[in-house]
Each structure stands twice: as C-alpha cells, then as structure tokens.
Amino acid sequence: MKKKLIMGSLILCCMVLATAIGPAVADVDTEPEKILKISVNKVFSVLSDKKLSLDQKKCEVTEITNSVLAFPLMAKLSIGKEYWSEFNAQQRTEFIRLFTELFHNFYVDKLVIFNNEEVVFQSATEVQEKQVQIQTVLISRGKKYSMLYKMFETKNGWKIYDFDIDGVSMLQLYQSQCHHILKSDKIEGLLTKMKEVSIKELEIKNRHHEINNIFYAVGNSEELRRKKIIDKKGISLLRSLNPFSKNHVLGPDLTLAEFEQEQATVTTFRIDGEIKKLLPYRNNNHYDIFYENGFSFINIKDSRNFWHHKYLVVVTN
C-alpha cells in the first residue's frame, strides 16, 4: 500500500490558521505576532463573507496562506540537509511545487467543516536570532488542542515554517515519510509518488466537488420571477378547493448563473428579512427557522435529506 505524503493532522494545524474567531490581544505585539494574528483575522473575514462563493473563499484563503507560509523552506526542511543536497535544481523546483500543491489540495477543501473555532494566542518566544515560536490553543467543539507555530524572519518578512500539534511536528511527520520512500525508491521515486498522490487528490476533489455542490438563491417573489428562477403555477388539489390559490414552483428556464454555490456540508444560512417559503419543498423535520436581529436563519438538522434536492430557493417577504 502506498504511503500518502500528507498526514491527517496537517488538516488540523492548517485549520488554526484558517478558522479562528479572533486572537487574544496582547499589550504590545511583536512583528511575528502581528503577522500571524492579521492573517488569522483576514481568513476569518473571508470565511464569514456571505457575498463570496465557496470557490471564491478558497481562492482568497489560499492567497492569504501563501503570504504567510514559507513553502520553499518547509519543503527543504521536510527533506533534510542530507537528502536535499542530492537533489539537482530541477528536482528541487519540482519537489517544492508538488509539496505546495499537495499541502493546498489536502486542507483547503476541509475549511467548510470548521465553524466558530477560537484560537487563544500567547506571546512569542525567541528561540534564536530571527526565529520565534508562538504558542496557541485551538478550541474546537469543546476540545482544546495545543498548537505551536514556528516562524523565521526571511528577506520578505516573518513566515511560518512548521507547526507542532500537541508536541508533534508537522515537518517531522513529512520527513519521516519522505525518508522512508527515498531509502527504497530514491529521488525520482519520491517525485513519482507525489505526482500520483496529487493526481488522485485532484480526482477525488473534483468528484467530491461535483457530488457535494449545492445551489441556492434568495429573493422576494417578484425578484425571483424576474430572474426566471420561480414560476406561479396552480396546484390541482388547491385549485379545486380555491380557484384563486396559487403556489410558486421552480421555473422551467432557470439557469445556474442566477444561483450561488455552496457545499452540502453547510448547516446554517443567514437570510436578510423574513422567510416566506423554501423551494422545492423540504420536510420541516429536517430544518428549523429562527429570527434574530432582523435576520432569518435556516438551521439544517438533517443535511442528507435536506439536500435531497441540490437546489434551494429561499422566497422572502
């Protein structure tokens, strides 16, 4: 069985960077503390932006993490001095590219599973010149995880080059796997396996994306009819009881261009105004609607049944 080059714990360490509610504020932050906290706040701002689609959020989060993670250094350290000296220039470039690609493929799609996590920051500790460590605690679903960020001052500013999760280094996990493969399959064998994993991850990502995508639109009846998302159509039974009774249904000419895109893992929608109805019909055992501060919230209790239809139209008053 092939060893995957990415460890499950990598997801968790990346989530700290990507899903914090907000940092604890120290009296005076050092430069690396400022960079880390600003990055966390930027990511949270993107994830909480209702105007952005899921794909847009992923792109923006990737840009933010690219600015604070030292991928070339992380790649080099994951190989170690002994083996890195054996890589030629082309192999080094390819390894850094694959390392970065696998890193992104493995965690960006997992962002949606985290919601309302909190990160508590401690002050930075100088390890040696141009090197600091920042201890944090991730609070997720009632559990606490000790997280240690290791940062290095480069010519482009302070960058993260390693994470410890409860005392286990992410780079050490990488290094252990890479060394195991290098001993038996050499450099080209390692690069080949990384390419295979990357292709497989992309196939899984595309398939998962296709299966788990859902589409939603929000608006009042007039707006939705104008966009041809809904129609008014008489229902036979209702009409037999009341000839003036009408019900809205999905329009036959609707197009995806009028819909926002999300993943079926989403459990809460915040809607401006009061909700009139959901289309197509959903069993109300699968969701709740509550109101707070002028907003309506759809709380999905049974995602599998709620998303039996991949389209959701929220008709507001």
Which one of 211, 229, 262 terminates a domain? 211
Same domain, 75 and 188: yes
**Per-residue pLDDT at 91:** 97
CB distance 199 to 208 below 8 Å: no
Give the end of a domain, one of 211, 231, 255: 211
Assess if residue 2 is contained within a domain: no
Mean pLDDT of 268-289: 87
Among 211, 239, 271, where does a domain finish?
211
Question: Among 38-47, 89-98, 163-172, 295-304, whose mean pLDDT is lowest?
Answer: 38-47
Residues 228 and 207 in one domain: no
**Same domain? 198 vs 233:** no
Q: What is the pLDDT of residue 259?
A: 78
Whether 4 is in a domain gets the answer: no
- Is there a single domain that holds both residue 116 and residue 237? no
CATH of the domain at 123: 3.10.450.710
254-265 pLDDT, tens digit per residue, is 556 677 877 777
Q: Are residues 147 and 38 in the same domain?
A: yes
166 and 20 within one domain? yes
Q: Is residue 159 part of a domain?
A: yes
Q: How confident is the model at residue 246 (pLDDT cuts 50, 70, 90)?
A: very low
Structural domain range at position 162: 9-211
Q: Does residue 241 register a pLDDT over 60?
A: no
Q: Which residue has the higher pLDDT, 117 or 208?
A: 117
Q: Considering the chain, what is the average pLDDT of its residues?
A: 78
Domain count, the chain: 2
Confidence category of residue 108, pLDDT binned at 50, 70, 90: low
